[in-house]
Every structure is written in C-alpha cells, then in structure tokens.
Structure 1
Amino acid sequence: MRYYLEADTIIMNARVFTMDDLQPRAEAIAIKDGNIVYVGSEEEVFSWKGENTQIVDVNGKTVLPGFIESHTHPVEYGLNLLKLDCRPNETPSIGAILKKVKEKADRLPEGEWIRGWGWDDSRMKEKRNPTRWDLDKVAPNHPVILERTCKHMAVCNSKALEISGVSENTSSPDGGHIEREKDTGKLTGLVQEKAQGMIAVPQYKVKDIIKGMKLAQKDFAKWGITTVHEMGTQANYFRAYQEMDMNKDLQVRIRPWFWAIDQNGFQGYFDEVLALGIQSGLGDDMIKVQGMKFMLDGSVGGKTAAVEMPYENEENRGILYDNADHFSPFVKQALEAGLRVAIHGIGERAIEVAITAFERASTSVDIKKMRNRIEHCGLPTHDHLRRMKNLELIAASSIGFVYYLGDSYLKNLGEERVKRVYPHRYFKEYDIVAPGNSDLPVTGGNPWTGIYAAVNRKTISGQVLDKTQNITIHDAIKAYTADAAYSSGEEHLIGVIRPSAKADIIVVSENPYEIDVENLIDINVEYTFLNGKLIYNQ
C-alpha cells in the first residue's frame, strides 16, 4: 500500500544543497502542485512516483534553491532592453556611443526622444563623461538622454535641455546637481541625482513596460533568479505586474517596494499608499507588497554617495538628500502604518541619517521584528553595525558592485576605505543578515558575479580590493537564497529546499563547493523551475 500522493515531478540523481540547516544535503526532490513535498534519498523519493510523474535525471549535477535578487529594478532593466545599449562592452568609447546615437537618429523622425543607458566613464577609453556637445554633433534635432550605469546621473544633449526648460540660469535642485563648465559656466549636459527629474522625458506606457518585462524575465530565468525585489515601484509598474500575473505571463516572483518621495525622475507614493491603508504582506506568492523605499544619497562611482571624508584628491563629500530631523517623521509614519521601510544609504553620512531615523521611530514602534532594511549599506562604521544589530536591521548589500564597479571604488575611496566596502565579514561578525544584490540594471544581474565578489573581493579587471571582507562560498550562496528570503519574511517559503516550500529550484553546471573559487563566475544555470514548472532549459 502506498501512503503518498503522486508527485508531478521528481528530480533525481542530484547533489542537493538545500540551504536548510536541519537537512543541508539530499539526493532527490519530489514536487506536487508547485510545492516541494519530499526532500531526501533517491530510494525514498520513488514512493512518490505515479503513472504521470515526470522524472528529471540531472546526472549528478548540483541543485540549489532559486536565487532571490534582494534589490533590483526589473522594469528599468526591461525598458533598458528597449533603449540603446551603452554599456562598456558594447560601447567602449564615447565615439562608439555617438555612432549608436547617430544610427538611431537617422532612423527616427526629428523631435522623437533617443534614450540610452549603461555608459561608465571609468571603463571607457576617454575616462570622462560624454557631454551635450558630443551628442549635439550626431543628433542636433532629437532630444537625447543617456543614463550612466549607476542610474544616479545622465547626460542630455542641448535639445533635451531646451525642451525641459533647463538653461544656464537654472539652479540645481536640493539633493541634485546640474553640471557646468568651471571656466565658462556653460551646461555640460550632465544632470545628477534629483536634477534628473528636471528632464522632461515622456513616460512609458503599461504596454511598453510589459514588453520590456517579458524580455527581462527571460534573463532572470537564465540566471536562475526566481524572485526579485522591485525597489522603485511606480503605479504603472504595479499595474503591469498585475496584468502579467492575471494573464499568466509572469515568470518571476515580484516583491514591490513603493517609491516614497518624488526623486530622481520617479514619482513618490507615500501619501497615496498610506491613505489606502496598504500594509506590508499584501498580495500572494507571486506579487507581495514589501513596503516603502526612501533614498538618502547617490553612488560611489559617480562621487555622489554621502561619504564622511572627501573622495580621493578632492574636497567633494557627495550629496546627502536629507537630514535626520526632516527625514525621520516620514520613516516613523510609514512604520506606524504597518509598512516596512528600506532606505538607500551608501556613504557613512547617509547610513547615519537612516539609522537615526529608525532609532527615533523605535521609541514608539516595535520595529525589531519588521525586518527593515538599509539598501546597499556600502560604508557602515562599526558604530553603525552595532546600532543596526540592536534594531535588527537588514543590510541589503550590493556585493555585486565589488565586481563591476570595484575599480572605480578603489580610485574614488582609496585603499583603506575600500577594505570596508560592502563588509560581509563584518556583517557576519555582528550577526546582521545581509542578502546580496546587483541593483540591476546598475550592474549585471547574474548572481554568480556577486557570489564570486563576496568570496574573492576581486573586480572585473582582476584587481583584488581587499583580503578583509571575504566570506565562504556557502555564506555567499546563502546571501542570494536563504538570507534574501529572510529579508522578506519568507524563509520557509522560498530560498530553501524543504517540504512545504515553493518548488523554485535551479540546476547548475558545476558544484560551487568543489571547484576553484576563481571559476565561480563561470558557473551556468542549466535548468530553472518556478512553482515546479520548467521555465528555462539551457
């Protein structure tokens, strides 16, 4: 007599690393109705086999939980796939960027916007930002805006500035900067931080967002990502996700954080979300509201992160968007309304304001079990780490930056400060949960680059940033699975292979625990399952 239900799928002949401390290893998995129903031995798993059970023999390959990206901008990435690709591997020089812009201008009617993304001055031949004069040469009659890889600045041509009403007489907004030539005062076309919101770029429609997301989620599946935290949710983004879900087109779990305050070209929804009474946890397994997202500073690569000491060889200390006295009431109000809070803070000054806001709120709200977060958390001090642990704050660490942006971090911060950038060893010592992320599309979205960076602390150029903050392979994988699941309160549902968890599972080409750590970055995903359904097969 058989006592088990018939499984839909059995994965066998596997080396399963479950990320479950109660049962770290297994040989086989049984799946029923999108959930894992058995994890254990190959001998026992066949008790779940029925006439219609699909058997997936992975030939001794390594099986892991689906990856969770704790900080991404999926819609922005999807829309970027509809724009000019100006990433360094595509356009290694300003000349190459201009060639792409000219080709686009030649095809578009005059007056239509040309949009691009991904340029990185630190990795281009000229080692400088493009200017409006560069762009004017190839597209004088089209408004052009090209976003830097960090998303904290963009360069526009003269036509875009004219349409937007930005001139030499326009003042920089608080928390933003319109760059001018030092000698002449003329606009260079570069707009930083909040100044980006002054550019009158037309809004994308929901149909455009869906088109881009369908492209983006193909890459997520290829990278083994089954859940993404959307860190800049706009109303039209939320609608697009819902439409895709209703039409059964959504192939990645979405964890939306609503953008709180008007900044950087994004509309804030603080008042609207609170007025509707929305709380963290609203939704289902595919789309589940997380809370409110705030921003306090910029990026290290763009020298706009609010650091304590000036950047190397200059007096600039970055841009701090707000002070604790003005900012703290927003945080307190969101927490009192039952909304978790995530605060972008990279530099020490920004992290200080973020922690202070949480501390002030904690006097009237019990926040320790809410799993509030500091996003990126790039340069925390030991005092910051102690206070974060006291409040049980999560460090949503952009460890992927070490690989892609590490060379600019070393240049801008110097050898000593870079030893505590995205300090995963310190996070572990202070028992602070630190899920990893890429901030896609700021950097590439493949989690293995973040895992490689966490283990090796090595940049894309092969430069070792430090030997202080390295962590083990197991802890690095946990950062993209179990720890990331913990950050949304779903550690029993996703990011783990155990009975009753969702059957979000990946099969990878190599055993990361056995290969040389230098080869971690070369691991490929061969199968990705979401809710027990195969959504990617290499």
Structure 2
Amino acid sequence: MDADRPAARSVGVSAGRIVAVGEELDGATADREVDAAGLTVLPGFNDVHCHTTWFGLSLTEVDLSVQSSMDDVYAALQRRAGESADGAWVVASGFNHQKFGGRYPDIDMLDAIAPRNPIYIRHNSGHACIVNSTALGLAGFLAADYREEAGAVAVRDERGRFTGLLEERAQQAVQRLFLPYSQGSIVGAIDRATQVYATEGITSFTEAGIAGGWIGHSPLELGAYQTALETGVLRARAQLMVSLDALHEMSGHRDDNMTLGLDLGVRTGFGNDFLKIGPTKVFLDGSLLGLTAAMSEAYCAGVSDNHGYFQGDVEEMRQRILAVYRAGWSIAAHAIGDEAIDFALEVFEFAREAYGPRSVPNRIEHGGVITDAQLARLAAVGAVVVPQPGFVPAFGAEMARALGEERVHQSYRAASLIAAGIPLPGSSDRPVTSGTVLPNIQAFVERRYGGDQVYGPGERISVEAALRAYTLGSAEATGEAGLRGSIRPGKLGDFVFLDRNPLLSPVEEISDIAVMATVVGGTFIHDRL
C-alpha cells in the first residue's frame, strides 16, 4: 500500500513502529525474527464503522440469524425464557424480517412463550426492535397517556393494536429499562469482540456510537474502553464516536465558542495511538431495510407514498450539529437516503465555511443512495463516505426492491467515490452483517447477491482498490494516514499475514484466504505461524 515501494521482502519493527523496509534492513539484527516464507503480509485491516460492544454482547444473546423458520425463532426464545428467572429479560439479536418473507414475530406468540419475561429482539439493522406485551407495558406504551414522538414509531395493526415492532428512537423507551450496562459487562463484550477481530486480521476499528442514544450502552462507555486497554483485553486500536445525544451544554469563556460538548473540553482527536476520540455520531434518518431512510422519491416496495423520515426535528438537529462542530468536533452523520445526505451536505458546507476544516474528516455513514450531483459536493467539502460492501450480498435483493432498479446504481457506491476523489474506506457495520474482512473485500469486487445478480455493476472495484480501502483508505477516512494503512518507516507496526496473495487469487476464492497471524504494534495477537 506504499506507491513508492509496492512490495518488499522484509520489515523491521522497534518500539511498536516500522523502522525499516526491504534493503534498509541489510545487515540488521533483531530480538525476534519471523520467517513468513510463502505468506503475504499486508498492513493490518481497519474497519471504520462497526459496533464492537454491541457485537460482543450479541455473542451471549439468543442468535436469531441462524434460525430458518419462525417456529425455530419462537423455540429459541422459549428455551432462553425457560432458563431465565421470572422477570429477567430475554434478549435476542440478528433477526431480519426479510428472511421470513417480511414477517415479524407475532406478539401473541411472544406473550405465550414468555408469559413471565419481557422479550427484546434486536433487528439486525439496529433500527428497530420487536418486543412482547410485558416489555411494552414496562416501557409505558400501554399507558392511557402514551403519545408518539417524532422519529419514534410504535407500529400498530389495522385495529390500532401494538404489534410489538418499535422503529428508530421508539426503541429507547425499552432500552432505558435495562440500560446502562455495567462497566464489567462492556469490558467483557470488548474482550470477546476483539478476540474475534484478532483472528480476522483487524488491527484498528471505529466504534460507531457510544455513551448515548439507542446505540450507546452506558454514559461511562469510554471508561470501559479505558479499562479494557489497561487490562490488555482491547486487542485492536479503537477510535470511538461519541453519540451526539451524549454531548451536553458547557460553559467557558465566551470567545471559546464551546457551548455543547463533553466536560473539560474533550473533543475529536483526544487520546493516544491505541484509544482515541473520533467524530460525534448523529443519526439523521433510518434504514433502507426498514424503509425509514429519508428519500427524495418514494420507495418502490408497495408503499408508494413512503419517503422515510428524519430522526428528529431538522432545525434542532442542524443547530446541535453546528454547535458541536464549532466546539471542535468532527461529524459522522448517519445518512442513508439521498434527502438525508442533502441535509448533511448543507450542514457540512456551512460548517466548513464558517468554522474551517477538521483534521479528522466529516463523514457520511452508509450513504445508501447518493446522486451524481451529491458526489461532486462531497468531494468539494472534503467529506468521506463510509459504505458497507457486505450489505450487497446480505441485503441486495431487499434493497433493490425498496429502491427500484433505476436507483440501484446510486446505492452503496464505491467506484464512483474513488473517481470523484473521495477516500474509500472499508467497513462492515458489524453485527448488522458479518465483519470478516476478506469476504467483504470480495463483495467490494463482485457486488453479487442472490447468486448471479449484480448490484450496480458500475460500482465494482479492483481487488487492489478493495485492499486499499481496508488499509490506507480507512486510515485516510479516520484522519490517520500518517500513522497507519501502509507499510513504511514511521508508521505503526500493524500487520496481517495471509496464506495467499489476494492479488494473485481468483476473485471468487478471496473469502477463503486464511489469516495466519495478526500483529499490533509489533506484538502478535493471533499466531498460526
């Protein structure tokens, strides 16, 4: 990933940094020499949008992604309820209604299989949950004075009865009943998650939302990450996005322009090479799968007047985003629909003009539908788009149905981002989809779903471009191209050892390439050598 030196036969690391490459090491000695004969060594992989704590927690929850029928879903939930004390929460992850022909679990069945336990089922998009009547009652939805708020939809059937499906911010009413998680629980989740990352060659990641909103797990979540670092269970370097909902009013000198942020003036960039504060995360709209992303034209999935919706009052969001940008924060805007991306661009353009650029770029998380005109504006304002290649094999059929074929070429773009001069990073949104890097690199190249169908063939990229996305592209997207993403002196000693060279392998076999070792700062955190 170094244009000046595309390949080399040796790398030297000291004190966690690359100190020499190739012939620069002639005659050198080392405390440890590793013979990687026959293997390919790349910069460590960097997933710049994942949910590490959520993923780690899901490893102990009921996994509904493996169930093949709704009866299997009910049976799995009933088993967990039978193992749980009365009143204990039954929490499940990985449910995708599209897998069941658009059906959700029936609330009457959920009530019958767990009459003494509240049930909370996370939709795998993260933008909805399914609960039983016990949970609805505890959360106040069944109260006579319940009133629905903007961006918080509790779905009802044709008789006006709650179905148990809660969209977007409506989830928070239920989450408040079991949040916050303890520091110990979060540290344990980080431990489990980064053990998996080590086996996959992931040496860096961005946690896409902590400390607040429906995506956070505790207002003390940064402290849990610090504990994980101190105790050695944070195995990969972490950049943490703080939820905009976690930022609060501050007071300082009137010239400081810091009216909204974190105590002590902590902001984007604070931390060290292993644990650092990234942008603030703000949800502008919802998801394509849930038909809640804000679109300029209606969806094509049988709801002709549905354009999705914003997560809150647009003007209030605008003022809060500008306030935190003024205070020194970069912005990571979850924006999937083109209408939400238009709004994000307006805010970015105003903020950059009024308060200057940021060393950590502003970002569009996902970018589900981006028009050609928006590409030019994104490049001009210096923003990064963070698409997820794994969405195509996982959800391509559903997204194509929602958008209609005429808009698929604008969806989860890759090649056109590169052509526009916008850095292309690698990311997964794990656990929404698999975070395993090599299958996602293959997905970047193939863009296949449902067997032989191709989702926007014009957005395919080369294997080299896909590898660059998960290395140097991710470093550029996080403002750290000077630290990581390529193997050259001065950068961090983070590597992945592969049993085959992806550039020389058939594309359809890239996902089968084995990770033989992972190195962070010169230390092997996974070793099959």
TM-score bracket, shorter-length normalisation: over 0.9
1:196-275 pair list within 5 angstroms? 196-199=171-174, 200-203=176-179, 204-234=181-211, 235-261=219-245, 268-271=246-249, 273-275=261-263
Do structure 1's residue 38 and structure 2's residue 13 form an aligned pair?
no
Unaligned runs of 5+ in 1: 1-18, 262-267
Taking structure 1 as the reference length, the TM-score comes to 0.91
Structure 1, residues 361-380: CA drift from partner, whole Å, max 9, x if none? 22311126541111111211
Do structure 1's residue 114 and structure 2's residue 90 form an aligned pair?
yes
Do structure 1's residue 472 and structure 2's residue 462 form an aligned pair?
yes
Match of 1:78 among 34, 39, 56: 56
| Pair 1:228–1:259, CA change in 2 (3 A) | same
Task: Please give the secondary structure, in 2, of the residue aligned with 1:289.
Answer: strand
> What is residue 10 of structure 1 aligned with on the other side?
none
- Is the contact made by 2:360 and 2:478 (CA closer than 8 Å) also made in structure 1? no
Task: Please give the secondary structure, in 2, of the residue aligned with 1:229.
Answer: strand
Task: Please give the secondary structure, in 2, of the residue aligned with 1:468.
Answer: helix
Residue 515 of structure 1 deviates from its aligned partner by: 1.3
1:120-131 pair list within 5 angstroms? 120-124=96-100, 126-131=101-106
| Pair 1:459–1:237, CA change in 2 (3 A) | farther
Structure-1 separation of matches of 2:471 and 2:450: 24
> What is residue 451 of structure 1 aligned with on the other side?
441
Structure-2 separation of matches of 1:83 and 1:379: 32
- Name the aligned partner's letter for residue 144 of structure 1: I
- Name the aligned partner's letter for residue 343 of structure 1: A
Do structure 1's residue 339 and structure 2's residue 315 form an aligned pair?
no
Residue 336 of structure 1 deviates from its aligned partner by: 1.5
Residue 127 of structure 1 deviates from its aligned partner by: 3.8
Match of 1:381 among 343, 365, 371: 371
Structure-1 separation of matches of 2:408 and 2:109: 33
| Pair 1:308–1:33, CA change in 2 (3 A) | same
Residue 405 of structure 1 deviates from its aligned partner by: 1.7
Structure 1, residues 116-153: CA drift from partner, whole Å, max 9, x if none? 111111123x5411132221121111000000110000
Do structure 1's residue 283 and structure 2's residue 249 form an aligned pair?
no
Match of 2:361 among 351, 358, 371: 371
| Pair 1:259–1:442, CA change in 2 (3 A) | same
Structure 1, residues 471-496: CA drift from partner, whole Å, max 9, x if none? 11111111111011112221121111
Q: Choose 54-63 or 154-163, whichever is displaced more.
A: 54-63
Task: Please give the secondary structure, in 2, of the residue aligned with 1:440.
Answer: coil
Do structure 1's residue 104 and structure 2's residue 80 form an aligned pair?
yes
- Name the aligned partner's letter for residue 84 of structure 1: V
> What is residue 474 of structure 2 aligned with on the other side?
484
Residue 309 of structure 1 deviates from its aligned partner by: 1.5
Task: Please give the secondary structure, in 1, of the residue aligned with 2:116.
Answer: coil
- Name the aligned partner's letter for residue 380 of structure 1: I
Match of 1:25 among 7, 26, 29: 7
Q: Choose 252-261 or 409-418, whichever is displaced more.
A: 409-418
Structure-2 separation of matches of 1:319 and 1:523: 41
Do structure 1's residue 143 and structure 2's residue 121 form an aligned pair?
no
Task: Please give the secondary structure, in 2, of the residue aligned with 1:536.
Answer: strand
> What is residue 9 of structure 1 aligned with on the other side?
none
- Name the aligned partner's letter for residue 185 of structure 1: G
Task: Please give the secondary structure, in 2, of the residue aligned with 1:305.
Answer: coil
Residue 270 of structure 1 deviates from its aligned partner by: 4.2
Residue 467 of structure 1 deviates from its aligned partner by: 1.3
Structure-2 separation of matches of 1:369 and 1:289: 13
1:7-22 pair list within 5 angstroms? 19-22=1-4
Residue 168 of structure 1 deviates from its aligned partner by: 7.7
- Is the contact made by 2:279 and 2:360 (CA closer than 8 Å) also made in structure 1? no
Structure-1 separation of matches of 2:440 and 2:249: 35
- Name the aligned partner's letter for residue 188 of structure 2: K
> What is residue 92 of structure 1 aligned with on the other side?
68
Structure-1 separation of matches of 2:417 and 2:166: 34
Task: Please give the secondary structure, in 1, of the residue aligned with 2:328.
Answer: coil
Structure-1 separation of matches of 2:271 and 2:8: 32
> What is residue 15 of structure 1 aligned with on the other side?
none
| Pair 1:509–1:416, CA change in 2 (3 A) | farther
Residue 323 of structure 1 deviates from its aligned partner by: 5.4
Taking structure 2 as the reference length, the TM-score comes to 0.92
Structure 1, residues 197-237: CA drift from partner, whole Å, max 9, x if none? 11143121110111111110111111111111011111322
1:362-511 pair list within 5 angstroms? 362-367=352-357, 369-459=359-449, 461-511=451-501
- Is the contact made by 2:46 and 2:470 (CA closer than 8 Å) also made in structure 1? yes
Structure 1, residues 342-381: CA drift from partner, whole Å, max 9, x if none? 1000001110111111122223111265411111112111
- Name the aligned partner's letter for residue 93 of structure 1: S
- Highest RCO, 1 vs 2 (Cα 8 Å, sep ≥ 6): 2
Match of 2:136 among 161, 174, 185: 161
- Is the contact made by 1:131 and 1:190 (CA closer than 8 Å) also made in structure 2? no
Unaligned runs of 5+ in 2: 212-218, 251-260
Structure-2 separation of matches of 1:439 and 1:462: 24
Structure-1 separation of matches of 2:177 and 2:37: 51
Structure 1, residues 299-321: CA drift from partner, whole Å, max 9, x if none? 11111111222111212111212
Structure-2 separation of matches of 1:509 and 1:123: 34
| Pair 1:165–1:324, CA change in 2 (3 A) | closer
Residue 46 of structure 1 deviates from its aligned partner by: 5.0
Structure-1 separation of matches of 2:489 and 2:222: 31
Structure-2 separation of matches of 1:536 and 1:421: 36
Total equivalences in the alignment: 506
